[in-house]
Amino acid sequence: MKYDRRLTAILLFMTALLVSSLIVPPAFAQASQGQTLSIKITNAFPADVEGDGLINDVVVMGKIYCKPHSSVRVYFILIPPIGKKIVTDAYTIYCNGFQKKYEIHLYDVIKFPGYYTIMAYASWNNENAVSNAFVFDPGGGPGPPG
Ligand SMILES: [Ca+2]
């Protein structure tokens, strides 16, 4: 099936890794007891990233709280309203400060109306972190996720 081939050809890459701050926010200071790694998703929305005329890609934005000069391994899981969950490849984000913004593009992953859930997983030096589950609806589709 055409979609299956496209699914296996999912590409993702990072863009616009933004400058991290050396200032530790209070929320991180509270959450960091014994843990130096956490990750969150601040936004996820459909887009036509590669310009093929189909709004079937997803832009994911978020932030990693990390130890300065650490290389954090990150992957994402996207749960569509219908069908199998999509697990992205893992890749490395370098933290030069205590936090790092990221932006990820998932190509050709929106195929059905309804609610999509995306989560991020991070690991570094035997520490693991799971983000919030971010839910979005690409088309104003009907009803709750099923
Ligand atoms: Ca597209």
Tell me the whole-structure pTM to 2 decimals: 0.72
83 within domain boundaries: yes
- pLDDT 10s digit of each residue in the chain, 146 long? 454 454 433 433 333 333 333 334 444 444 445 678 999 999 999 999 999 999 999 999 999 999 999 999 999 999 999 989 999 999 899 999 999 999 999 999 999 888 999 999 999 999 999 999 999 987 654 444 43
Distance 51 CA to ligand 1 centre (A): 6
Q: How many domains does the chain have?
A: 1
Query: What spacing in Å lies between the alpha carbon of 71 and ligand 1's midpoint?
Result: 30
Domain that holds residue 48: 2-136
CA of 17 to the centre of ligand 1 (A): 22
CA distance 106 to 117: 13
Question: Are the CB atoms for 63 and 101 separated by under 8 Å?
Answer: yes
Is 41 a domain residue?
A: yes
Which residue's entry shows tokens 């697990």? 87
Q: Note whether residue 60 is domain-resident.
A: yes
142, part of any domain: no
In a domain, 38, yes or no: yes
Ligand 1 centroid to Cα of residue 110, in Å, is 9
> Is residue 145 in a domain?
no
| Cα of 70 from ligand 1 centre, angstroms | 33
Cα of 106 from ligand 1 centre, angstroms: 9
Residue 84: inside a domain: yes
Decide if 45 is inside a domain: yes
Residue 40: give its domain's CATH number: 2.60.40.10
